[in-house]
A and B are shown apart, each in its own frame.
Chain A
């Protein structure tokens, strides 16, 4: 007798728990053996089965890559929630921001999470870059290094495009002012600006363009690069030292020692960003006044060093200095290939000494250059100012430090680290200078009040 439809359905229903257990588990009918269980776990596509104790130590990497990835995850979740209410048109953008801030349930919290996680992500990705440089972890990983720079560019692009979206006074003028800089780029500048803005000025076309870049193109690219980045780390054998140095440390299973540590770090990040967002609301400026920029109109902190340098010289500050820095970063793993002390913070003793010398020289030079430039005032001819300004000075010093350190120590790593440290001092110093600028881009100490009316 053929089994009836109802009896078949009944027996399938009875075995539903069993079917769920086996059918929903990828690739397994029966419960896998413990050793097999490890291989089937997604986490083990990310990590090796065993890791060295050095890799588990918090100071080895400071966990900066994972913090950045966690913040990106926060940004995706909160960003999708914000997309439900945000309207990317000039007429409605600011009003929808006000709605999110004032009327939508959890709107202010989600917006604050998105804002603070974005600032955090830019900060941690820059620190991650510095960590990789100072530990020499780009060693024999040229491809992943380039991927990492691409991730950094995507993050800055996301931060920049996201800056326009609130469509308040600050965002409108920050984007107007920073894209106007492109006009100074010979040949391609005007076309590039047109491509970016969809016209000569920041308009409805720009807002839609930045929105599309911000919510679709750049996140997709970043996700793709991130997957590639992680996969390459696994393929290259985890942290750099173990593969390059052939470490023979006692190794521990990644589960639970590495995975739980990572979970702990993820929780710490989530907890801190939630705590900040509960207490500190994301600022929303006044509606944009298309006729008059604020005075001063400052770039976000991570671009402030460029703005400060551009106020000295648009050619050197806007293009030569950042361009050389970027070129140096791109070429770093190809020109610097010493295996000695790879994966160790600041290399060997010689290297450390070069870094300390470069650091002190950089700080002293920066103070002298800035004091000289400010006391000389802005009376110089623009052409002379292109040559005699702090940005050019620090650039020359970086090249000098690079050459001298290389010549004296005979080590490419000391040379690159010295040059990089001088650049870093310049970037940090110019950022601080930018923070201290007041109306008309005049320098004010933090305790000095700005003149009235601003």
Chain B
């Protein structure tokens, strides 16, 4: 393994040169990819339309909506908030909002409060929360947009959400609430209905499959199929779907449904790490999280926010404050045990 000193140095220098050039190339590639974004392409197409005289490079357009979310949708949907862009002349991404917005003005509400999606994102797949992007707030289109009304309003208290109200009534009349009550922890009285309080996080296709053939999403499901009911009344299916999409209590997943396995799951030591969850079944309940909403008391949000939370006790708002509430347990829960809930 004797090294020829002079040849070795020359070879090393050549290697350095090649690798430096390669690194430079990769960095140029990174720059290229970083600059050639989707929204820049849309803005270029918009300028090419010459819909707005003297239009120039706009950059990222963003503002904070009334819920405190950063809304960047109009970076691509350039015409959405403009009344002067007539609908028929303009292709879809730039088209003006079809209906005039009387109360929900764009500069205050933005797009995402009604339409959902990921308003901070600038790639269409992520921004529109396409399946597979891992986003939790699916995009709502007509007529499903009524699902978003329930973020702030009680179904039926204003005109324009008739289908949502219809869906809420179907939820009761079809008997959904027997196994999936939305109060009392979300589970049925016999502990076999899945917690549906965050069902609105699922895609429309998933929800529809769950109603028509429940075993498609959950092979072990014992829920009856509602296919025949909805074959006769297809519009009822849409109504119910709209209501299900409106269920967006802040839970990404139903909690583990297996209370009967009181001592850990499948022989593992859950309670070592999940002392607040599984530990509760073995009588070692710790109130791990002061903002936890697991106890079956009604929330007392109205004590501080008389107007903002609709209904009595059922928390279903966008209210982002609830996550940040760390004001002590008794603000929400009246009958906590003494001594820190141990």
Which of A's residues lie within 8 Å of B, judged by CB? 53, 56-57, 90-91, 95, 98-99, 101-103, 105-106, 108-109, 169, 177-178, 180-181, 183-184, 200-201, 203, 250, 252, 256-257, 260-261, 263-264, 267-268, 270-271, 274-275, 277-278, 283, 285-287, 289-295, 310-314, 318, 377-380, 382, 385, 440-442, 451-454
Contacts and interface: CB of A to CB of B under 8 A. Distances in A.
Given A260-B12, A268-B19, A382-B269, A106 B34 contact: yes
Contact of A102 (B5, B126, B288): B126
A312 B272 CA distance: 10
A286 B135 CA distance: 6
Interface of B: 1-3, 5, 8-9, 12-13, 15-16, 19-20, 22-23, 26-27, 29-31, 33-35, 60, 62, 70, 72, 118, 120-123, 126, 134-136, 194, 216-220, 250-256, 258, 264-270, 272-275, 277, 288-294, 320, 323-324, 326
Contact of A310 (B26, B269, B277, B323): B269
B8 A257 contact: yes
B122 A102 contact: yes
Contacts of A177: 273-274
Contacts of A267: 16, 19-20, 23
Given A53-B1, A379-B267, A382-B269, A260 B70 contact: no
11 contacts: A98-B120, A103-B122, A180-B273, A257-B5, A264-B12, A264-B15, A290-B289, A292-B251, A310-B272, A377-B266, A451-B218
A43 B10 CA distance: 20
A197 to B, nearest CB: 12
The 6 residue pairs across chains A and B that have the minimum distance between CB atoms: A378-B267, A260-B12, A267-B19, A177-B273, A314-B272, A311-B268
Given A103-B60, A103-B120, A267-B19, A178 B289 contact: no
Output the residue of A278, A287, A291, A441 with the most chain B CB within 10 A. A291
Contacts of A102: 72, 120-123, 126
A295 B265 CA distance: 11
Contacts of B326: 203
Contacts of A201: 288-290
A285 B134 contact: yes
A291 B14 CA distance: 58
Contacts of B121: 98, 101-102
A249 B120 CA distance: 62
Contacts of B120: 95, 98-99, 102-103
Contacts of B2: 53, 250
Contacts of B134: 283, 285-286
Given A98-B118, A295-B256, 4 more contacts: A99-B70, A178-B273, A260-B16, A274-B30
A395 B105 CA distance: 66
B128 to A, nearest CB: 13
A91 B320 CA distance: 9
B29 A291 contact: no
A268 to B, nearest CB: 7
A278 B136 CA distance: 26
Contacts, number: 174
Output the residue of B27, B252, B273 with the most chain A CB within 10 A. B273
A264 B251 contact: no
A105 B136 contact: no
Nearest to B271: A314
A332 B28 CA distance: 47
A289 B272 contact: no
A292 B16 CA distance: 52
Contacts of A289: 250-253
Contacts of A382: 269
A278 B23 contact: no
Nearest to A442: B266
A293 B23 contact: no
A291 B293 contact: yes
Nearest to A108: B34
Nearest to A263: B16
A185 B315 CA distance: 38
A271 B288 contact: no
B72 A103 contact: yes
Nearest to B323: A290
Contacts of A440: 256, 258, 265-266, 268
A285 B136 CA distance: 10
B1 A57 contact: yes
A350 B267 CA distance: 42
B7 to A, nearest CB: 11
B264 A378 contact: yes
Contacts of A278: 26, 29-30, 33
B277 A293 contact: yes
Nearest to B254: A292
A228 B38 CA distance: 48
Output the residue of A53, A90, A101, A180 with the most chain B CB within 10 A. A180
Contacts of A285: 134
Contacts of B258: 440
B252 A169 contact: yes
